[in-house]
Amino acid sequence: MLTLSGVSASYGSVPAISDVSIDVGEGEAVGLLGANGAGKSTILRAISGLVRLTSGTITFSETSVGSLPPYRVTDLGIAHVPEGRQVFPEMTVQENLEIGAYVPRAKAERSRTLELVFSIFPVLAERRKQLAGTMSGGEQQMLAVGRGLMLKPRLLMLDEPSLGLAPVMVDVTFQKIQEIHAMGTAILLVEQNVSRALTLVQRAYVLESGKVIMRGTSVELANNKQVQSAYLGI
Ligand SMILES: Nc1ncnc2c1ncn2[C@@H]1O[C@H](COP(=O)(O)OP(=O)(O)OP(=O)(O)O)[C@@H](O)[C@H]1O
Ligand SMILES: [Mg+2]
């Protein structure tokens, strides 16, 4: 469904990712793992059209997305939940969700999708009139994921959804992502919590200094000595 082939991108003259080739199948859950600065967020931004490619191609369901503006990528069915949640603090929970459905395809079904999001995240229904900025970190993460779902995505890209959350909220977050995946949505998950990520995804890529250094199934990676010592503390 999604294929990156030899993708490189840089910020100014500083290269951030180079020659990255990854793919995500229809309805699959795939992980992007790696240390700080490895280039994980840059890959999601490249897919979303937020950073220019210096080389390589990105296709989504046979459409070339490598040079499309972000709203066009979104309208194809790719939702990007960015690092650090980035909800609109002065707007209510419901307004944040409604604004999520900003592309034509999603707008037409906005009220129905809102009910679906409320059924997955009852806390958002209870707090629909609360200002987003007054929600707890975990609640804001739910809101950020809910806002992504308002696009009715075929592919949901999540950038470190568990970052900064208490252990119990990490559990809830992963459980919700699992539910969304079970509903048929493909997932591209960026995580530093490698052990948890490997319980959720089927396959993953390991990045180092902007390059893919390893790829495999979750079982293969969990049993890999290099992954164990670098990311699993074994
Ligand atoms: N806006 C920017 N301007 C300049 N350089 C940037 C910018 N954003 C990222 N970089 C650089 O690009 C490289 C990859 O960064 P990226 O944010 O993709 O890493 P990451 O794997 O997501 O890291 P983290 O786990 O810390 O979020 C890093 O060297 C980083 O310093
Ligand atoms: Mg990042």
Residue 191 Cα to ligand 1 midpoint, Å, equals 14
Residue 126 Cα to ligand 1 midpoint, Å, equals 36
pTM for the model: 0.95
CB-defined site of ligand 1, < 6 Å: 11, 14, 16, 34, 36-42, 83, 192
CA 92 – CA 165 distance, rounded (Å): 22
In total, the chain counts a number of residues equal to 234
Q: Provide mean pLDDT across the span 46-63.
A: 95
- The percent of the chain in helix, strand and coil, each rounded to the nearest 5, is 40, 30, 30
- What's residue 85's pLDDT? 81
Q: Which single residue is written with the structure tokens 């009715």? A: 152
The one-character DSSP state at 167 is H
Q: Provide mean pLDDT across the span 12-39.
A: 95
Nearest CA to ligand 1 atom 1: 11
> What CATH number labels 2-207?
3.40.50.300
Counting ligand 1 atoms within 8 A of each CB, the residue from 8, 10, 11 with the most, and so the one to mutate, is 11
Residue 47 Cα to ligand 1 midpoint, Å, equals 15
Q: What is the pLDDT of residues 174-201, one digit of tens each?
A: 999 999 999 999 999 999 889 999 999 9
The pair of structure tokens assigned to 24 is 């995500």
CA 58 – CA 72 distance, rounded (Å): 14
